[in-house]
Amino acid sequence: MRRILETRARPVQKCTGLDWDDFRYFLAVGRTGTLAGAARSLRVQHSTVGRRLDALEDGLGAQLFLRTPDGLVITAAGSAILPLVEEAERALAAAERIVHGGDERIEGIVRLTTSEALSGLLVRRLPELRALHPQLMVEVLAGNRSLDLSRGEADLAVRAAATTQPDLICRRIGDAGWSLYASESYVLRRGAPSSPSDLAGHDLIGFDESLAAVPGALWLAQHATGGRVVTRGNSILAVLNAAIVGMGLAVISCFMGDVEPTLKRLTHVILGWREIWLVFHPDVARIARVRCVIDFVTEVIAEESARLRGDRPAKP
């Protein structure tokens, strides 16, 4: 039986003076299981999460989490209110979308979540959008975690997989090809493989379990026989950088590899494909600034389609 580090009896009292913001911290702790995880998700200090959780427990007169050696364990009281607080969060997000739906000004903040790889392509084009709408700020939230648009964690998303959430609009706006790359220094030192399917004797750059479903990882799982994985990355950028410094061969997105001057594309063949999807809630599409960014992202992906597909010939 786990030893409880801290249990506190809460006096029964009326729920007065409660702050909805404290419930946000409760949800973050409930979803991550630790104060540190909640702090990262909310982008605040660890101590802030603990203080706000304490304030909520004091206000409710109930303990919501037990502090254990393995982290925070939600109590019966916490479990009872968790779905209610999640429902309230969704309702507040919907109310905000409705209120802002009539805003026809192209100014303010639009939060765009996407992968680290695609963030580079989109950010390089943002000056064009800012030149047209100087009062519009696009906040780019890059990372592998899919933020929840229904809960208002972001306004729109550019993803590599279609969403299964029925309340969201999901548009396929492009495709990204993947191919085999190595640095010029690696090719000079070790030579290039005779064909992409013959990697015997070569050093390979792999992907960790969090990226097991990306085209590069799937292709290597089938064709890495005889090669040696010398390092793995938990992000596409980490794999790209390992290839740039000459650690080995890497299967990466063509739109990243083809523009890197130190890398050599080793085959014209596309080894894998990944779809590109634009996802947003229909309510936010009524907001002018969000519609503007939706149109901008769609246009950028269309203009970059050849590069994304990997149509550019391999370097000689």
Each residue's pLDDT tens digit, 178-214? 999 999 999 999 999 988 888 999 999 999 998 999 9
pLDDT at 6: 39
Whether residue 127 is found in the same domain as residue 63: no
Give, in order, the Cα–Cα distances in Å from 254 to each of 19, 35, 51, 95. Answer: 48, 39, 47, 41
CATH code, 61: 1.10.10.10
Whether residue 80 is found in the same domain as residue 111: no
The first and second tokens of residue 86, run together, are: 């999640």
Burial of 16 (0-12, 13-18, 19+ CB in 10 A): exposed
Query: Do 182 and 264 form a contact (C-beta atoms < 8 A)?
Result: yes
Burial of 145 (0-12, 13-18, 19+ CB in 10 A): exposed
Give the residue from 100, 129, 163 where a domain finishes. Answer: 100
Read off the amino acid at residue 5: L
Give the residue from 72, 100, 128 where a domain finishes. Answer: 100
Question: Among residues 238, 270, 235, which one has the least CA distance to residue 254?
Answer: 270
Q: Report how many domains make up the chain.
A: 2
What range does the domain containing 84 cover?
Answer: 20-100
pLDDT at 99: 61
Residues of the chain with pLDDT under 50: 1-16, 314-316
Whether residue 30 is found in the same domain as residue 75: yes
Strand partners of residue 6: 67
Whether residue 69 is found in the same domain as residue 213: no
pLDDT tens-digit readout, 22-49 = 888 888 888 888 888 888 888 888 888 8
pLDDT at 9: 45
Query: Do 184 and 260 form a contact (C-beta atoms < 8 A)?
Result: no
Whether 150 is covered by a domain: the verdict is yes
